[in-house]
Amino acid sequence: MEKKAVVKLADDNFVGEINGKSLNLTETGMRAVDIMLISIGYCFGLTVESYVNRKGYKIEDLQITVTGQKHEKENRYDRITIEVSFKSDLTHEQIERLMVIGKRGCTVSNSMLKTPEIETIYIEAVNSKKEA
């Protein structure tokens, strides 16, 4: 399944668009890596919520903290930690299973674990000026 996001720079603002929805990324005040870390936590949380609802478990006050440790020399994170807390009456085994499902079901973190091929292609704009 292919999904396409578009990011545009207009009037000094980056705007992200996907599936007919848009978000002014500049106005959030967040950097791209901040949004990446939030995306990991959000994806993990959605997976946990879906699993809990399917199993009929009750959890409250779900909080996911995602910490990125930047590599000393390269422009990337070399360690990301996901800390999860919630109130429940789940057993230790049920919590462990929930953590496994949360990690396994998250497309965002899975894409980072198995590095996707990233291809960049320049597509000339319609009114682009050409050098002579």
Is residue 15 domain-shared with residue 64, that is, in the same domain? Answer: no
Whether residue 131 is contained in a domain is answered as no
Is residue 41 domain-shared with residue 22, that is, in the same domain? Answer: no
The CATH number assigned to the domain holding 44 equals: 3.30.300.20
Is residue 24 domain-shared with residue 64, that is, in the same domain? Answer: no
Q: Is residue 99 within 8 Å of 86, Cβ to Cβ?
A: no
Q: How many domains does the chain have?
A: 2
pLDDT tens for each residue of 52-69: 999 999 999 999 999 999
pLDDT band at residue 129 using 50, 70 and 90 as cut-offs: low
Is residue 25 domain-shared with residue 43, that is, in the same domain? Answer: no
Give me the domain span that covers residue 47.
37-126
Is residue 78 domain-shared with residue 46, that is, in the same domain? Answer: yes
Q: Which residues contact 16 (CB under 8 A, 6 or more apart)?
A: 5, 6, 7, 22, 23, 25
Q: What is the pTM of this model?
A: 0.86
Indicate the DSSP class of residue 111: H
pLDDT given for residue 90 in this prediction = 97
Q: How far apart are CA 21 and CA 24, in angstroms?
A: 10
Beta bridge mates, 118: none
Is residue 53 domain-shared with residue 113, that is, in the same domain? Answer: yes
Whether residue 80 is contained in a domain is answered as yes
Whether residue 53 is contained in a domain is answered as yes
Higher pLDDT, 128 or 62: 62
Is residue 72 domain-shared with residue 104, that is, in the same domain? Answer: yes
Q: Is residue 82 within 8 Å of 44, Cβ to Cβ?
A: yes
Q: Tell whether the model's pLDDT for residue 127 goes beyond 80.
A: no
Q: Is residue 47 within 8 Å of 101, Cβ to Cβ?
A: yes
Q: What percent of the chain has pLDDT over 70?
A: 95
Is residue 15 domain-shared with residue 65, that is, in the same domain? Answer: no
pLDDT tens for each residue of 14-44: 999 999 999 999 999 999 999 999 999 999 9
What does the CA dihedral 79, 60, 47, 69 come to, rounded to 10 degrees?
-10
Is residue 11 domain-shared with residue 62, that is, in the same domain? Answer: no
pLDDT given for residue 128 in this prediction = 61
84-100: b (≥16 Cβ within 10 Å) or e? bebeeebeeeeeeebee
Which phi and psi angles does 12 have, rounded to 5°? 65, 20
pLDDT tens for each residue of 84-101: 999 999 999 999 999 999
